[in-house]
Every structure is written in C-alpha cells, then in structure tokens.
Structure 1
C-alpha cells in the first residue's frame, strides 16, 4: 500500500503514558512525571525520530474522582508539571521538534496567552503551538472562584472571541517593524506597530502585544473539539486538530465535515492537518504485542478500572467483574454509556474486559500488533480520507515511544511514508501549513 502524501506524527508526553497502570510497569519510574530529565529524554527521542511535535494536554484541576472509593489513590493522572514552563525548558535542549501545550480559554485572558506563546515561539526559534480548550470539569471551576462550570454555549462563545483576540494581538507588530537603526536612533518603525482596540462581549483588549512578530508569524493553533462550535473554531483558525475517533467510519465523517467547512473562511483543505490519537502496543510478533497489552491490563486494580466506567455506566462495583456488563445505572453521559454497552454486547465482554479496554488508552483508540499490522492500519485511515497523520499516545513512557521508534518507524521509512530529515526549522514549515499574513499588511496591500 502507498499514499501520495507524507504522514504527520506527534507524540503526547503527558503523565507516565496513556495506560491507567503505566506507573506500575516494572520498567517505569513512578516519579518521572515530575522530572525534567524524563521529558528531555522524550523530546530528544522524538526529535531524533523527526516527529513533528511533542504535545502536552493539561487540566487546571484534579479531575480524577474517587468513584468508586479507592480509585483516586491508584491513579497517576494526579501529579504533573505546568506544561508551558516545561516546554520552555525543553526548547533549550531541542532544535527542531514542535512544542505544543494546552491552555484554557475559560480560565485565562487573551493577553496572557498571546504573550506566553509568542515568547515560547521566539525562545524555540518558531516551534510553539497552542492547543485551544474550553475546559469541562467542575474541578477546574472550583479553582477559579466558581461553584459551577460556565455554561457550555457560553464557554464556546467566549472561546471563539478569545481566539480572535489572541490572533489580533499576534499581529501587533509587522514582520519588519524592528529596524534597529543605531545611526538614527530609531529602534522600530512606529507605523508598523498596531493597537488592536478590541471591544467585544467578553473582552476589551487595547494592545499592542509587547513582543515582536514571531518566527512562525504566529504559533501553531491546535484544537480538539468535536462540537459544532469547536468545529467552526477549527475550520476558521486551527492548523492541527486532534481527534478521538474510535473507528474508521466516524473518523471519515469527522474529516469530511471539518474540511468542508474551511472554504467559507478562505482556507485550502490541506491548510489543516487532522491527527487522530492512537495508543500502540507493539511487538515483533502479534503474540508479543498481546503479551505487552495483557501485562499492563493485569496491573489495573478493580477500583481504578471501574472508575473509568463510573461516569458512563454508573457504579458497577456490586456486580461480578467477570460477569456480563449490565444496563447503565444513572449514567452521566448517556451516549457514551450506550456505546459502551453496545461494544460489550457485540464482543461479549465482561465488566473487567470492558474497563481494561478503556483503561488501556484513557478511552482512546488502541491498536495491538506488529509494525506491519500497525502501519497497514495507519495507511488505511489515510487512504480512506480519515487522517493526515496521528498523535501517538504511548501506553508507557518512555517505553512505548522507544518501541515505536525501534519497530514502527523503520517500517514507515521502508514504505516511504515518513520523513528521514526535517523540511525546515519551524513547526509550521515541517507541518506544511502556510505562514499567516499580518492583517495590517494585507489591508495595506488590498488598498493599493
């Protein structure tokens, strides 16, 4: 099988990996998620493999719950570093890999985000990316003077305005504004510095940003929302979208839906890269891969495993773990409950088998197999028009990333599907997405 275009690949380096029992693996360091040395190793490994980016998802509250009792103390989704601080440190020990971090539009201000990510883009030489989220948990609201989370529609309305303000601030300086003319004493051309003067429903921001235009024009914008509002934000502004699609049909539908929206914003379909998440258990034989999968699943304690079903299926702790999955009991997310029940009935899964399936990749798509099997699947998704690449979510770090580099990457190279050298020095160049035009420069050219 062959595809005409190159695959895009990022790797998520949050926590100790995407398996619920990652920290219990015999070769894992349970304290690694608080150690800079751990993340340097991951970033440098990803860069040596010529991956597009490392990615740090984030939440600003402890979202893991103690449901059923005994689950919380078993979860490694509880202690982590602040991502932008971490990526700033990683920018000094890497030179090509993209550096993408999450920040919430609900619990930040546009000027803060514009300033911090512009700084990272300069410090890294043009490798910064902002993953736009609205936040979703009450736990986050409780840390920011709220008893309840902001209404869903209001969150997205605020997010849409937030993104436009940030983009406007990033256009404050034209690219050649800083003339640094020592002879005349002119540091910058004042005609090329612009005040935003934004006045909207949620924000009033005068500007300008106190940071020069960045090496990428602006940092890469990343988005992961599947809601109607989220899709519109992505179609208008995003350079990369992460998706959680679990099957090919839903991935294709999402891909077409989002790409079809781009024309109304004057964007070409390839200006946006869609990269579904995927957790891989890799072996030189299928039996070896299955053994790695089973080894981790066997380390999931029932309390922790049941917690992955709690919000979707209710409290199942009174039922036999090796018995059939019952009808959902007071599910909080009914659509997910229905999907889980359908999966369990279709494959005749027990409660233990169902929670193991979900805990293996934090609910994301999981593949278990040989390098050839995995690459065949990745190619199938790209040929079907369901993906431009993938966001790797290793089950255990650094072991899962090492397995990918040692086993899957050579197969990708053998088929000519992935680069052997970076195309440029910036994340934007390596992704193959266009440089944004400064709005004030564009307006002046249009007026000529």
Structure 2
C-alpha cells in the first residue's frame, strides 16, 4: 500500500533481526517482578534500569537490594539506574510534604559500600511540562520492556497490581543500542546529575543545561547502524520521541494509516491527540475493524473513591470518561455495526496501565506512550516496534491480547457511560467550574 505521508518513516526504519523464541511475553506483574529480580541476580556485565521512578516501598527496596547484592558479588558489573529528576524529589501526590525518593537513594548509597548510581533526568524545568517517560531495562544482552515503573503495585508485591505489558527480548544489538542512548545521550549531559549523592543542584541552576538537553533529544535517535531496513522477517526497531511532530508520534500515526483489516489500541487515559483521532477516523472510513481498550474510571491509577476526601487529581478519571463518551457518541453508528469496539477493563480494585498497538497481523508496538497530547508533545518517550511480515510470532501475540481482553467489557453504546450529573458532588462541582472558565481544553493537553 502506498504511504499517505509525504515523508514516511515506516518503510525506512532500520531493525534488528529476531527469532520468534527471542521474545518472551510475561504473564503479569508478579512474573515481571520475578523475571527482573532473577535477571539482576544473574547479570554478568551490565544493568541499565530506566523508569519514571523507583519508589521507596517494599518492592522498590527489593530491587535496590538486588542491585547492591549483584554489585557486591561482581564488582566489575556496570550498573546505572535512571529516573525522572523532578519526580524523584517530590513526595506522593496528596501525601503531604515529603522529601521524595532522592533522600532514600542517598541513604542507600551511604549505607552500602557498593556503587549503584541513580541519575535524575530533567526533561523540563517543571514536571507538569515534561518528564522522563522512557521504558526498558537492559540486563546483559537482553531488554526487559514494560510501561511499568518500580513500586509495590506495578510489581504486584502485595494484593493489588497495576496491569501493564511485559516483554523480555533477547537481542544484543537492541540492548547495545538502548544502552548507548542512556550512556551517551543522557548520562553524559550536563543537565543530568546523580540523585544518590548529597548537595543536589537546584533545577533553576540547571535551566540552560535542561534547555540544551531537550534540544539535543529532539534530534536524537537510537543507534541502529547494526540493523538494516527491509529485513523481510521478524525484527525489532527502537524508536525515540520528544516534542511536537517527533519520529515516534509520526510512526504511531503511520501505523494506524497502514492498517487494512484490524487495529487494536490500548491506553489507560482516553485523551487521544488530534492526529491519532484523524487516522482512526480514516481507518474506519476504509473499513478497518478497530478495538480500543481503556481502563474503567475506577481502574484508573488517579481514581479516588467518593468516600475519601476530594482532591483535584481525583477529577482526572472522570475527564477521561467524558472524553470517551464524546468519542463513543460521535461513532455510535460504527459501534452498532460492530466495526468499532470500545472496551472497559476492570478487575476488582486493580488498576490498568496498558499502552500500545497491534496492526493487522504484522506490527506490534510496545511503548510507554499513553497516546495522548502530553505524550505527543511534552514527555520523553520511546517504543519498540516489532515487525512480523511472515507471521512468525502470531501465537504469543494472540495470547497476550487474549489475556488483556479477559477483564475487558465491550460498551454497547455511549449511554452506558456516566455523565456529569452521575458523578460525586465534589467532582461534578469541580468539572463545572473548569468548564465555565474554559480550562478543560488546557487540562486535556497537559494531563
């Protein structure tokens, strides 16, 4: 099919060849934790962990202890932990004034003779306008990729879990490429500093360096010189993106535009960017069957039960539901015909954090990108695109989708979704106020 884009990126992507058994789909958050800890314990020469945050809780402590134990057993082991600079220096939302995880990192460094550096990446001078949202753990010659961060709920340490996607890919060129970006594109920057050492510089003092880092990242790419374009078989391509019209955002739109039979899309926060909505509408017009799986508002990680005191952050799941209802109403005819299926995921008190796309029986996109305006413009994002033109990896792909759909319920019509009058009084009052002062559109752009 000829490309609809004047400067199409998809056909030019360079990828690393794979065998079908080189990609393992892990069964859930508990399995992800087990796999991560086992691989850390067995690591021989490098561990690079990149996540939005490493939390000071039982699961976070378990990961940190495993890193120090691995370093003690093999002093030559290279270990780098990378998290968002601003997120690490504040407490949990709604938990009052707290020192943040950086104080814990410093205490851990003081308490251990082993060297496990934790670097903070400032993507912007304020967290609201951009964070480090890169995903992927490089351990020796493998990449453990998930949208999850590192804490109790993401790692299913106790009763509750936050459902994500979990893939272990055994591929040295991919691991080398992802390490190279962290080492040379991030750690080497003047804006990036260790959070586990005392006397941190202020974000204000780093303003110029942060601006320089962001400018450089807008032109940065993963090194794929060891790969090739047009492989013809199973392959994986790493993608990077930050800022308006970045390569990752463009490839996402091209993937939707390439769909001919089936498109499946997951996002925890239903707030699609205009370019994505446009390509979905075009795909529906050409007869593509589309499934969109989002979390029920009660499965949103910002959801607060009405029985608890209201905080502004608690309005977010309702904003996403309003957005979903509008979308469903506009496309009700497609829902009635079965061409468009909207699904709500819910499993008890657990939460939903899935992102990604499945296009026809060829492309699978693994990403932390939430497919929202913030991901398309503000945060530093990445993804792994698995291209399977010969159908070598269909069985594991179908198994993952089946597990995702297991707790998903199809919406028959937009009327099933609640409206403002159905919401808790405090939520309704807040949403009416922001609607009156026309702040709603701004919120959709940055949240």
TM over 0.5: no
TM bucket, shorter chain: under 0.3
What is the TM-score normalised by the length of structure 1? 0.27
More strand by share: 2
Which protein shows a greater Rg?
Answer: 1
Comparing both chains, which one has the higher relative contact order based on Cα–Cα distances under 8 Å and sequence gaps of 6 or more?
Answer: 1
